[in-house]
A and B are shown apart, each in its own frame.
Chain A
Amino acid sequence: MLLGILADGTLQPLILLAVLTAATYVYNKKAYAGEIKADQLREIPAIAAITEGVGKSVEENKPVHYAMGASGGQLYSQLVSMTLVALAFLNYIAKLCAKYEAQLIVHMPYQAESIPLIEAMVREGYKAEGKQEAFQPSCLRYYGQGALSWTQAVTASYDQEGVGLNLSIGIFYSDCPISLEMAKIKGALNVGGTGRWIMVYAFAMMCDYVFLGQEIYVAGAIISENPLMLAGVWIEDLGKFYSLLLLGVGLIVGLLGVSAAAALFAL
């Protein structure tokens, strides 16, 4: 019955979605019961580096820069999860800047529809530290369509206003090597990462501390200190176990013939 209404080739995706949804239900319950804790996770050194960088900025009297990518405000593309993680980091860095009284500069992406969310995250960050009045809308910078003006303007900002910590998290395309390398050259403590694997190399080579690929999601959960987000890390690991299991089953079925394996994955 169910198979009759499904589109071709969507049974495998449906099973994976069902596994992850069921795991979400189970682990959310565990989270509410207080069984999920950040210290159970493998350590990610780049997280501590963010606070260190804010301290460095205050000491040097230079601003903290936050960038989520020239095209990092995508709300309705396949990369929306990365935008949400970048917003979680934005909230975190705003809190830290409010707490330690560091100057924050946010280089906004060109997607204007993400501006309301960005502003809300920064405001809330300051509010959480009881310093709403310290928030200045002019710390939110906008540079128009595309990577070119963004890259130039961000680089100019490092040069003209100085840079203590440069935190870059989110959706990055071929434009990021310039901003990351220039921040490094201008003496920033560079911390960052992206979920787009093709660009991770730039972060690995130009940052002092890097979040490799998926690590941005895990780190996002840790800094949020929210049990539901932390539960997500367990669900992700379960997803990996399922994927490896599928791979194993595929390899076994393949013994019957390549077409059998192809048919299994085509379901």
Chain B
Amino acid sequence: MSSLQNLIDNWSQYRKGIEQGGFHHYEHRWGMAIDLNACIGCNACSTACYAENNLAVVGPERFAQGHFMHWLRVERYWDQPDKEFPEQGASFLPMMCQQCGAAPCEPVCPVVATYHTPDGLNAQVYNRCIGSRYCNNNCPYRVRYFNFWSYYETSWPEPLNMQLNPDLTVRDKGVMEKCTFCVQRIRTAKDKAKMENRKVKDGEFTTACAQACPTNAIHFGDLMDPESQVTKLWATHQVSRVDEQGRPRHEQDKKNPDLRGYRVLEELNTDPSVMYLERVRETLA
């Protein structure tokens, strides 16, 4: 009955989709800006992620089957197939969970193991996950990784297991996992801020990948904080998640098309939290 009452009371609120700005009032909206002009594809971010997030090392056989676990992968594309040599080098793309605002992975999970947090993250609840893998099927970026085996049996032989980060779990077979924007670091920072009752300051912490990146290609911060570096970057490049009405914004809305900001596969309206800045190359004869 009380739940029925609740339904009636908040009806209008509960009917708000993202088009109406959504039901949710965000505390933070963690986001990234990745500068492909700076990224050199050195893979430091990926390894840092392994170290921070207890990612399993699967070994060659399982890697060959595609059972690898790198939440953050550095993709390498060759864009001049017709040329005899790749004369402008490679295109590197660090790809991790885009923490979409309208994430295709979320609504399809039959048990709500993946949901949207007040921080604007796509949280994956390992305990709740039953491994239907629908979320991965529906992820256009294919950045979710499934525990096909009980990796803990093989990946951390004594005493390698002593390195495991106690701030987060080691996942067992049958659950889906993915980049969390180092949610454990976010937690720590928020707790600390709470203890000192203040808001989380920009740059007081960052994700493992951003911290490792030798060229500072990866910027991490709170898109709700107008002062944060990320917010400014997004603004400078005229990329934003939502317009004044809180409706999703698109690249087409960019006033100055020369600016480098874009979001991968934006046309799918997934509203990613990661903005990429276009790669730059000289135009040489």
Tell whether A pairs with B.
no
A-side residues, CB < 8 A to B, are none
